[in-house]
Amino acid sequence: MKMIDSGVREVTYGKNVRVIMPVNLYECELHDDVFIGPFVEIQKGCVIGRGSRVQSHTFICENVSLGANCFIGHNVSFANDLFRAGGPDPDPAGWIRICLGDNVTVGSGATILTDSICSGAVIGAGSVVVKPVTRKGIYAGNPARLIRPL
Ligand SMILES: CC(C)(COP(=O)(O)OP(=O)(O)OC[C@H]1O[C@@H](n2cnc3c(N)ncnc32)[C@H](O)[C@@H]1OP(=O)(O)O)[C@@H](O)C(=O)NCCC(=O)NCCS
Protein backbone atom coordinates (compact mmCIF):
# COMPACT_ATOMS: atom_id res chain seq x y z
CA MET A 1 0.00 0.00 0.00
CA LYS A 2 1.31 3.46 -0.95
CA MET A 3 0.29 6.19 1.47
CA ILE A 4 0.45 9.85 0.40
CA ASP A 5 -0.01 12.53 3.03
CA SER A 6 -2.56 15.25 2.50
CA GLY A 7 -1.53 18.77 3.45
CA VAL A 8 -0.48 21.98 1.78
CA ARG A 9 1.80 21.68 -1.26
CA GLU A 10 2.90 24.29 -3.82
CA VAL A 11 0.33 26.87 -2.76
CA THR A 12 0.87 30.52 -3.65
CA TYR A 13 -0.68 32.77 -1.07
CA GLY A 14 -1.12 36.47 -0.34
CA LYS A 15 -1.27 38.47 2.87
CA ASN A 16 -3.40 37.56 5.89
CA VAL A 17 -4.49 34.17 4.53
CA ARG A 18 -5.91 31.84 7.20
CA VAL A 19 -6.17 28.07 6.75
CA ILE A 20 -7.63 25.82 9.44
CA MET A 21 -5.94 22.43 9.32
CA PRO A 22 -6.42 19.70 8.26
CA VAL A 23 -6.84 20.54 4.58
CA ASN A 24 -5.61 19.20 1.26
CA LEU A 25 -4.48 22.11 -0.93
CA TYR A 26 -2.10 21.78 -3.84
CA GLU A 27 -0.83 23.82 -6.81
CA CYS A 28 -3.39 26.58 -6.28
CA GLU A 29 -3.46 30.31 -5.46
CA LEU A 30 -5.01 31.95 -2.40
CA HIS A 31 -5.17 35.72 -2.65
CA ASP A 32 -5.05 38.24 0.23
CA ASP A 33 -7.45 37.81 3.17
CA VAL A 34 -8.73 34.39 2.10
CA PHE A 35 -10.13 32.01 4.75
CA ILE A 36 -10.13 28.25 4.24
CA GLY A 37 -11.95 26.11 6.81
CA PRO A 38 -10.99 22.60 7.89
CA PHE A 39 -11.43 19.46 5.78
CA VAL A 40 -11.40 21.46 2.54
CA GLU A 41 -9.72 20.18 -0.62
CA ILE A 42 -8.62 22.62 -3.31
CA GLN A 43 -6.95 21.11 -6.35
CA LYS A 44 -4.44 22.38 -8.85
CA GLY A 45 -5.09 25.35 -11.07
CA CYS A 46 -7.61 26.92 -8.69
CA VAL A 47 -7.57 30.60 -7.79
CA ILE A 48 -9.38 31.83 -4.69
CA GLY A 49 -9.93 35.58 -4.96
CA ARG A 50 -9.20 38.23 -2.39
CA GLY A 51 -11.33 38.10 0.74
CA SER A 52 -13.16 34.90 -0.21
CA ARG A 53 -14.18 32.35 2.43
CA VAL A 54 -14.41 28.62 1.87
CA GLN A 55 -16.17 26.87 4.74
CA SER A 56 -15.38 23.41 6.07
CA HIS A 57 -15.80 20.17 4.09
CA THR A 58 -15.95 21.84 0.68
CA PHE A 59 -14.39 20.23 -2.38
CA ILE A 60 -13.02 22.49 -5.15
CA CYS A 61 -11.87 20.48 -8.15
CA GLU A 62 -9.16 21.46 -10.64
CA ASN A 63 -9.40 24.73 -12.54
CA VAL A 64 -11.98 26.62 -10.51
CA SER A 65 -11.60 30.34 -10.03
CA LEU A 66 -13.48 32.40 -7.47
CA GLY A 67 -13.57 36.18 -7.71
CA ALA A 68 -13.20 38.51 -4.75
CA ASN A 69 -15.28 38.23 -1.57
CA CYS A 70 -17.10 35.02 -2.44
CA PHE A 71 -18.64 32.92 0.31
CA ILE A 72 -18.65 29.15 -0.25
CA GLY A 73 -20.65 27.38 2.45
CA HIS A 74 -20.01 24.03 4.09
CA ASN A 75 -19.83 20.84 2.08
CA VAL A 76 -20.12 22.46 -1.36
CA SER A 77 -18.88 20.39 -4.31
CA PHE A 78 -17.54 21.65 -7.61
CA ALA A 79 -17.42 19.10 -10.44
CA ASN A 80 -15.44 19.61 -13.63
CA ASP A 81 -15.78 16.15 -15.18
CA LEU A 82 -19.42 15.97 -16.22
CA PHE A 83 -19.27 12.29 -17.34
CA ARG A 84 -20.39 13.41 -20.78
CA ALA A 85 -19.10 10.23 -22.42
CA GLY A 86 -20.91 8.03 -19.91
CA GLY A 87 -18.35 7.87 -17.13
CA PRO A 88 -15.26 9.52 -15.72
CA ASP A 89 -13.19 11.17 -18.46
CA PRO A 90 -9.51 10.31 -18.00
CA ASP A 91 -8.50 13.25 -20.23
CA PRO A 92 -8.48 16.59 -18.36
CA ALA A 93 -8.89 18.32 -21.73
CA GLY A 94 -12.52 17.21 -21.62
CA TRP A 95 -13.20 18.80 -18.25
CA ILE A 96 -14.85 22.19 -17.83
CA ARG A 97 -13.25 25.19 -16.17
CA ILE A 98 -15.49 26.86 -13.60
CA CYS A 99 -15.44 30.59 -13.01
CA LEU A 100 -17.35 32.47 -10.30
CA GLY A 101 -17.51 36.26 -10.33
CA ASP A 102 -17.13 38.53 -7.30
CA ASN A 103 -19.40 38.39 -4.24
CA VAL A 104 -20.95 35.04 -5.16
CA THR A 105 -22.60 33.26 -2.21
CA VAL A 106 -23.08 29.49 -2.29
CA GLY A 107 -25.22 27.77 0.37
CA SER A 108 -24.25 24.62 2.22
CA GLY A 109 -24.31 21.35 0.33
CA ALA A 110 -24.71 22.88 -3.14
CA THR A 111 -23.19 21.20 -6.19
CA ILE A 112 -21.75 23.28 -9.02
CA LEU A 113 -21.87 21.57 -12.43
CA THR A 114 -21.66 24.63 -14.65
CA ASP A 115 -18.85 26.75 -15.98
CA SER A 116 -19.92 30.17 -14.79
CA ILE A 117 -21.80 31.99 -12.05
CA CYS A 118 -21.98 35.75 -12.37
CA SER A 119 -21.02 38.31 -9.75
CA GLY A 120 -23.50 38.80 -6.93
CA ALA A 121 -25.45 35.57 -7.47
CA VAL A 122 -26.72 33.57 -4.49
CA ILE A 123 -27.10 29.78 -4.66
CA GLY A 124 -29.42 28.11 -2.13
CA ALA A 125 -28.42 25.31 0.20
CA GLY A 126 -28.47 21.90 -1.46
CA SER A 127 -28.96 23.30 -4.96
CA VAL A 128 -27.57 21.65 -8.07
CA VAL A 129 -26.46 24.28 -10.56
CA VAL A 130 -26.45 22.77 -14.05
CA LYS A 131 -26.61 25.86 -16.26
CA PRO A 132 -24.56 29.05 -16.36
CA VAL A 133 -25.91 31.76 -14.06
CA THR A 134 -25.71 34.99 -16.02
CA ARG A 135 -28.11 37.23 -14.13
CA LYS A 136 -27.65 38.41 -10.53
CA GLY A 137 -30.29 36.76 -8.35
CA ILE A 138 -31.15 34.01 -5.87
CA TYR A 139 -31.19 30.50 -7.36
CA ALA A 140 -32.28 27.31 -5.62
CA GLY A 141 -33.39 23.74 -6.17
CA ASN A 142 -32.38 20.77 -8.29
CA PRO A 143 -31.93 21.89 -10.99
CA ALA A 144 -31.35 25.38 -9.59
CA ARG A 145 -33.77 27.97 -10.89
CA LEU A 146 -34.09 31.70 -10.36
CA ILE A 147 -36.22 32.40 -7.25
CA ARG A 148 -35.90 36.14 -7.56
CA PRO A 149 -33.57 38.66 -9.17
CA LEU A 150 -31.45 40.90 -6.99
C1 LIG B 1 -32.02 30.17 -1.29
C2 LIG B 1 -32.25 31.07 -0.05
C3 LIG B 1 -31.17 32.15 0.02
C4 LIG B 1 -33.63 31.68 -0.32
O5 LIG B 1 -34.01 32.45 0.74
P6 LIG B 1 -35.33 33.39 0.57
O7 LIG B 1 -35.11 34.36 -0.53
O8 LIG B 1 -35.63 33.90 1.94
O9 LIG B 1 -36.42 32.38 0.02
P10 LIG B 1 -37.74 31.81 0.72
O11 LIG B 1 -37.40 31.10 1.98
O12 LIG B 1 -38.74 32.92 0.75
O13 LIG B 1 -38.20 30.71 -0.34
C14 LIG B 1 -38.65 31.05 -1.64
C15 LIG B 1 -39.01 29.75 -2.35
O16 LIG B 1 -37.78 29.05 -2.64
C17 LIG B 1 -37.78 27.76 -2.02
N18 LIG B 1 -36.44 27.53 -1.49
C19 LIG B 1 -35.80 28.30 -0.61
N20 LIG B 1 -34.56 27.80 -0.40
C21 LIG B 1 -34.44 26.70 -1.15
C22 LIG B 1 -33.43 25.77 -1.33
N23 LIG B 1 -32.25 25.90 -0.72
N24 LIG B 1 -33.63 24.77 -2.20
C25 LIG B 1 -34.82 24.64 -2.83
N26 LIG B 1 -35.83 25.51 -2.70
C27 LIG B 1 -35.64 26.53 -1.85
C28 LIG B 1 -38.83 27.85 -0.92
O29 LIG B 1 -39.37 26.58 -0.64
C30 LIG B 1 -39.84 28.78 -1.55
O31 LIG B 1 -40.60 28.05 -2.47
P32 LIG B 1 -42.19 28.34 -2.67
O33 LIG B 1 -42.25 29.76 -3.21
O34 LIG B 1 -42.61 27.31 -3.66
O35 LIG B 1 -42.79 28.22 -1.32
C36 LIG B 1 -32.20 30.26 1.26
O37 LIG B 1 -33.37 29.44 1.42
C38 LIG B 1 -30.98 29.35 1.36
O39 LIG B 1 -30.95 28.20 0.86
N40 LIG B 1 -29.93 29.90 1.99
C41 LIG B 1 -28.66 29.17 2.15
C42 LIG B 1 -28.23 29.26 3.61
C43 LIG B 1 -26.90 28.59 3.84
O44 LIG B 1 -26.60 27.58 3.25
N45 LIG B 1 -26.10 29.17 4.69
C46 LIG B 1 -24.77 28.65 4.97
C47 LIG B 1 -24.28 29.22 6.28
S48 LIG B 1 -22.67 28.57 6.60
What is the Cα–Cα distance from 94 to 73, expressed in whole angstroms? 27
Residue nearest to atom 48 of ligand 1 (CA): 73
For residue 1, being part of any structural domain is answered with no
Instruction: Please name the helix (run of DSSP H) or strand (run of DSSP E) that holds residue 137, with its range, or none.
Output: strand 137-140
Per the CB < 8 A criterion, the answer to whether 85 and 69 are in contact is no
For residue 3, being part of any structural domain is answered with no
Residue nearest to atom 18 of ligand 1 (CA): 140
Cα of 118 from ligand 1 centre, angstroms = 19
Q: What is the pLDDT of residue 38?
A: 98
CA terminus-to-terminus distance, the chain: 52
Cα of 106 from ligand 1 centre, angstroms = 12
For residue 30, being part of any structural domain is answered with yes
Q: What is the pLDDT of residue 60?
A: 98
Q: Where are the beta strands (DSSP E) in 20-113?
A: 24-26, 29-30, 35-36, 41-42, 47-48, 53-54, 59-60, 64-66, 71-72, 77-78, 98-100, 105-106, 111-112
Q: What is the CATH number of the domain that holds 116?
A: 2.160.10.10
Residues 78-92, mean pLDDT to the nearest whole number: 95
Nearest to 70, CA basis, from 110, 119, 27, 137 = 119
Tally the domains of the chain.
1
Q: Which domain holds residue 123?
A: 8-149
Cα of 124 from ligand 1 centre, angstroms = 6
For residue 85, being part of any structural domain is answered with yes
Residue type, 116: S
In tens, the pLDDT along 87-129 reads 999 999 999 999 999 999 999 999 999 999 999 999 999 999 9
- The pTM for the full model equals 0.97
